Structure 1
Amino acid sequence: MANKQLELLVKVQLEREEKLQANFVQALQFTRQAEQKYQGLADYRTDYIQQSQQQGSMGLQSRQYNQFVSFIAKLDLALQQQAQQIQQAKAVLEQRRQQWLAMQKKRKALEYLLEQQKQHAMKKAARTEQLLQDEVAMQQFVRRQSPH
């Protein structure tokens, strides 16, 4: 009975572990997407500055220069916000990783306990079987020794 309960508990732990693993993978994907978005914004900012510098070499009006500076400031703000999102995503990722590993550790401990109980039960069964065989052998020996 205890083995069946432990087996059920291991199964439940495994299901929980799989859900936590899926949550970790989802957080990993979100983090990677956030990093890609950041890199895309950074690349766009670099390209925009290069293009603006090329145009600026031909001369810029003050209005164009102000638009350029304003747009770069907006890109910088977007990069800062994206960097914060990456930091938050990494914190969630680490939290989910820790939860997954903790559940994995619990499941492995339960599996070890279950295996130990199975080994104990097998040894007990083997001892019982050996005792029965010894008893049968003893009875046979006694029957052969006793005169009829």
Structure 2
Amino acid sequence: MALAQLQMLVKFQQEKEDKLRALYQGAQANYQNMQQKFDGLAAYRTDYLQQTQQRGQHGMASRQFNQYLNFISKLDKALSQQQQAVQQAKAAAEQRMRQYLEMQKKRKALELLIEKEQLTQQAKAARQEQKLLDEIATQQFFRRVS
């Protein structure tokens, strides 16, 4: 494959890699955002439970206690849903990371191939130059001798 074609292919791979990196970074930011929401909701639930216990120590009507329990149940459900969203966001971020790393690996392999091709061409050019210099030296030798 010609060197120019390989270089064009590397450029194309680099563009794809850049897009995948941006997608990975977006997915990672989304995961972190989802995790922060989960952490905030969990902290709110903990605070709410503590407040409920404090109020319960001073006496509370059964109706009010049931309302607190219902709200805690809703918080638990929201936490469960948010945990699922966190897991999905994490899986998406990990998938994007794998795609990005795979594209990076392909690009690096192409760059290595280009480097080898350049070394091969340099060695070929050096041999041709040496051959030309040998021919010139041989011709000069025979001119002096004759």
TM over 0.5, yes or no?
yes
1:49 equivalent in structure 2: 49
Does 1:62 pair with 2:41?
A: no
CA shift for structure 1 position 141: 0.7
1:20 equivalent in structure 2: 20
Does 1:85 pair with 2:90?
A: no
Q: Secondary structure at the match of 2:60?
A: coil
2:11 equivalent in structure 1: 11
Runs of 5+ unmatched residues, structure 1? none
Q: Secondary structure at the match of 1:60?
A: coil
Within 1, Cα distance between the matches of 2:103 and 2:114? 16
Runs of 4+ in 1 over 4 A off after TM superposition: none
Q: Secondary structure at the match of 2:7?
A: helix
CA shift for structure 1 position 114: 0.6
1:130 equivalent in structure 2: 130
Does 1:119 pair with 2:119?
A: yes
Q: Secondary structure at the match of 1:59?
A: coil
Within 2, Cα distance between the matches of 1:91 and 1:32? 12
> Which amino acid in the other structure matches residue 43 of structure 1?
A
> Which amino acid in the other structure matches residue 33 of structure 1?
N
2:39 equivalent in structure 1: 39
Runs of 5+ unmatched residues, structure 2? none
How many equivalent residue pairs? 146
> Which amino acid in the other structure matches residue 101 of structure 1?
L
> Which amino acid in the other structure matches residue 139 of structure 2?
Q
Give me the identity figure in percent.
56
1:108 equivalent in structure 2: 108
TM-score, normalised by the number of residues in structure 2: 0.97
Within 1, Cα distance between the matches of 2:88 and 2:43? 22
> Which amino acid in the other structure matches residue 126 of structure 2?
A
CA shift for structure 1 position 144: 0.8
